[in-house]
Structure 1
Amino acid sequence: MACFSTLRWRASRAQVVPEQVSESAFRVHLQAELLKEETWNGWGIVVSSDEAIQELVIVAIQQSSAVKNWNLEHPECPIEVGQAILEVNGKTQRNEMLQELWDEKDGKDGKEGKVSLEMLLDVQLTPRQRSFFKGAIQRYDAVGDFLESAHLSHDLCVAEPCPICHDPVHGSSDVVRLPCGHHFHKHCAFKWFVSQRKFRCPTCNNLLGGWS
């Protein structure tokens, strides 16, 4: 995440009619406008997935004006925890969808303008997706507890950038150090671990713990 960006964003109020793809699936179009002065905080959609299911499952929705406005304007097709994401910006492969959700290039380097996100959601989980979702909710809580204990002071000098977002770590008020010794922005480590079944360091692949 761009910790030193000078952008703020506000959700676009333009009405977009959701496209009903099937009885349980529909398309969502989110828009946000980047403005100067504050940091771009992303879409606020926390997902988890696994190679066995490919789809992304929404496990939490953090503060997000874009999602809030969509839900207010489209109460018949809200974005909610427990839904499966089948497609993101035309991508259907698991890693590509994660990259689209995590891509924060539009919030860097003082850029401003509109950004958008299109998703295909399904409110009806398959039995395998439901089973995975239950475990993902447990991981969500466990990851939060673990990273809270791994939190470091913001004045710690770390020469290397965060391996997940590639932005500088030094000067951030939210840094964690894993037992293997690697450092990350806390929010980057959080979304990484929640999205994985195994609790592995994204740098050295060291298994720090895991859930079945």
Structure 2
Amino acid sequence: MACFFPFRCRARAQVLPCQESAFRVTLEAELKDPGTDWPLSQGWGLVVSSDEALRELVIVNIQESTSVKHWNLEHPECPIEVGQAILEVNGKTERNEMLEAPELWGKTAWKDGKVLIQMLIDVQLTPRQRSFFNLAIRRYDVVDEFLEATKVAHNVCMVEPCTICQEALDGSSDVVRLSCGHHFHKCCAQKRFFSQKNFRCPCCNNLLGGWN
């Protein structure tokens, strides 16, 4: 449920002790302009999902993320991958608190110009988590197929910004043009639609479709 482009900031990762099938991750990114909010398009790359039956967040997709890429290169013994469960985000263990944690989406910057996220990740899904993960993957594929059909040419630049992340449509990522005429980063729209039963334009609220 997130959208990510190549970073303009420097990122580094730090490993914490692993426990059984779970391991702790600390990702840190330094902002180019300290004191400003970290744009959504420069988050951690994690598309996560959950429902009321789960206390954990399940990683459904990992979009382009420098921090996660660096982590996986530096720590091949415990990589961050699709199909893992996030048990904790910056000390928060309740599902809603983790989903709403601004750190998960990179929306909050520290006063010293750094964004930090600490996660406890479990590589072994329970049967309930596995069942939910399979459902979430199918849902993600439906959204991706819908948006792929609305994608415009790659490297297209637009005058107006993406109203979801407020970043420029500068050709650094795929852009979609919805039937109502509004343009967004594909990955921003993907995150938005993935969390909704019906696909509605974030600008005009026009109903575009949905999934069952």
TM-score by length of 1: 0.70
AA matched with 2:137: I
Matched, 1:34 2:31: yes
Over aligned residues, Cα RMSD in angstroms? 3.6
1:10–1:32 Cα contact (<8 Å) kept: yes
AA matched with 2:197: K
Alpha-carbon shift at residue 177 of structure 1 (Å) = 5.5
Alpha-carbon shift at residue 31 of structure 1 (Å) = 1.2
Aligned pairs (5 A) from 1:44-193: 44-99=45-100, 100=102, 101-106=104-109, 113-151=113-151, 155=158, 162=163, 164-165=164-165, 167=166, 176=176, 178=178, 184-193=184-193
1:24 — aligned with what? 21
1:199–1:209 Cα contact (<8 Å) kept: yes
Q: Deviations over 1:96-128 (max 9, x none)?
A: 323332243439xxx983221111111121212
AA matched with 1:25: A
Aligned length: 194
Distance in 1 separating the partners of 2:178 and 2:74: 41
Distance in 2 separating the partners of 1:49 and 1:175: 27
1:11–1:66 Cα contact (<8 Å) kept: yes
Instruction: Return 46-55 or 172-181, whichever deviates more.
Output: 172-181
- SS of aligned partner of 1:134: helix
- SS of aligned partner of 1:63: coil
Query: Structure 2: where are the runs of 5+ without partners?
Result: 34-38
Percent of aligned positions that are identical: 60
- SS of aligned partner of 1:208: strand
AA matched with 1:18: P
